[in-house]
Amino acid sequence: MTCDPLVERMQPYRSSIFAEMSALAQRTGAINLGQGFPDTDPPSAVLDAAVVALRSGHNQYPPGAGLAELRAAVARHQRRAYGIDLDSDSGVQITVGASEALAATILATCGPGDEVVVFEPYFDLYAAVVALAGATLRTVTLRAPEYTFDPQQLRAAVGPRTRLVVVNTPHNPTGRVFTTAELTEIAVVCCDADVLAVTDEVYEHLTFDDCAHVPLATLPGMFERTFTISSAGKTFSATGWKIGWVSGPPELVAATRAVKQHLSYSGGTPFQAALATVLDDVEPIISDLRVDLSRQRDLLCAGLATLGLEVRRPAGTYFVVADVAPLGASDGVAFCRSLPERAGVVAVPTQVFYADPDDGRTLVRFAFCKRPQVLAEAVDRLQKAFC
């Protein structure tokens, strides 16, 4: 075949930055503070539940909607954590991670001529799937260093062609947790324009310092127009399990289900069965995780500050973003590509999460979901390279 087999609209999305940076870490042996995954196993009760599930016959296709036990557990979780009432049959769909939930929802609702509003910097999958759907991305910028948005810019971005507003809180890569005031602003815009919302809440339990996550669906007028998406990966430190879910009113969930069934149909039966047994007991797991992660956050933030970087402590997620211009960098991509050789550390350039790379040219994301000794070693290497 002489021509490039990749369809035109996916050409800009040929390689995810996470794949590139993790491959770089592997090739060079550098410490990987790039892709966000823990370097420890899930709690042993969670692992035991998976072993039991594997050994007790949960190894064939689950129903397309997902195991009924897990759908019921997700419905109980949403009720307990946020007071959201769901029908576990028609209001919950299990997916192959939040990734598939996001992809199926965007593909189910958007086509050519439709516009999707996202806050930038944005998780890379949104732009790629919007392109796959043939729709158009519109961005509202979270401006450094506070990473808040201008409500006027949001209002201007939403117009007659807007089909969806995508809201990711706690936010990757900035680590911001949207306030109720900000969510109210978004809710009013969605209701006024009568558009649908998709939320990406995969870091819902990874919040620190008494900062609480508020789902957009709990705001007035929003439940009926919101696809709420989350997954087990971050909550249970099991990013490789790839079990996610979308929940909401039956008409919305039915739309996602219609597309999801033609993507993967279903998957991950033993992991679904395991999660059905541990999701009710998530509280002690997340309180331990929050303590560990907030210490790791503090360790990394303090270390980055010793390099002369201005670091804002993130209120949630696995990530801290710093402007690396004080280290002499003029371009985050070039900086990150050379970082393994210069310092033996891998990080992710935030620039690739902006529609206009100039907006985040020298911003770099570092992940702190790594053991304290690994973070300490990374800081030590950065100090040797830059101080």
Question: Which CB atom, from 88 or from 105, has the smaller least distance to ligand GLN?
Answer: 105
Residues in contact with ligand PMP, total (CB under 6 A)? 14
Nearest distance from residue 57's CB to ligand PMP, in Å?
25
- Which residues, numbered 70-129, are part of the site for ligand PMP (CB under 6 A)? 97-99, 123
18 lies in the binding site for ligand GLN (CB under 6 A): yes
- Which residues, numbered 126-165, are part of the site for ligand GLN (CB under 6 A)? none
Chosen from ligand GLN, ligand PMP, none, partner binding at 31 (C-beta under 5 to 8 Å by type): none
Contact 315, 170 (CB under 8 A): yes
Opening angle at CA 357, ends 368 and 160, nearest 5: 105
239 lies in the binding site for ligand PMP (CB under 6 A): yes
DSSP string spanning 183-217? Answer: HHHHHHHHHHHT-EEEEE-TTTT-B-TT-----GG
317 lies in the binding site for ligand GLN (CB under 6 A): no
Nearest distance from residue 103's CB to ligand GLN, in Å?
12
- Kindly write out the interface string for residues 260-299 of this chain, putting x where it contacts ligand PMP by CB under 6 A and - elsewhere: ----------------------------------------
Q: Which residue has the tokens 């907030």?
A: 294
Nearest distance from residue 231's CB to ligand PMP, in Å?
3
Contact 116, 163 (CB under 8 A): yes
Chosen from ligand PMP, ligand GLN, none, partner binding at 139 (C-beta under 5 to 8 Å by type): none
Q: DSSP assignment, residue 238?
A: -
Chosen from ligand GLN, ligand PMP, none, partner binding at 168 (C-beta under 5 to 8 Å by type): ligand PMP
344 lies in the binding site for ligand GLN (CB under 6 A): no
210 Cβ partners below 8 Å, 6+ apart? none
Nearest distance from residue 8's CB to ligand PMP, in Å?
26
Q: Which of 199, 246, 201, 258 is nearest to 100 (CA)?
A: 246
Calpha distance 32→353 (Å, rounded): 19
Chosen from ligand PMP, ligand GLN, none, partner binding at 35 (C-beta under 5 to 8 Å by type): ligand GLN
Calpha distance 136→296 (Å, rounded): 38
Calpha distance 316→300 (Å, rounded): 14
Strands (E), 203-264: 226-231, 243-247
Element (H, E) at 88: none
- Which of 25, 32, 35, 245 forms a contact with ligand GLN (CB under 6 A)? 35
Chain residues that interact with ligand PMP, rule: CB under 6 A: 36, 97-99, 123, 168, 172, 200, 202, 231, 233, 239, 242, 244
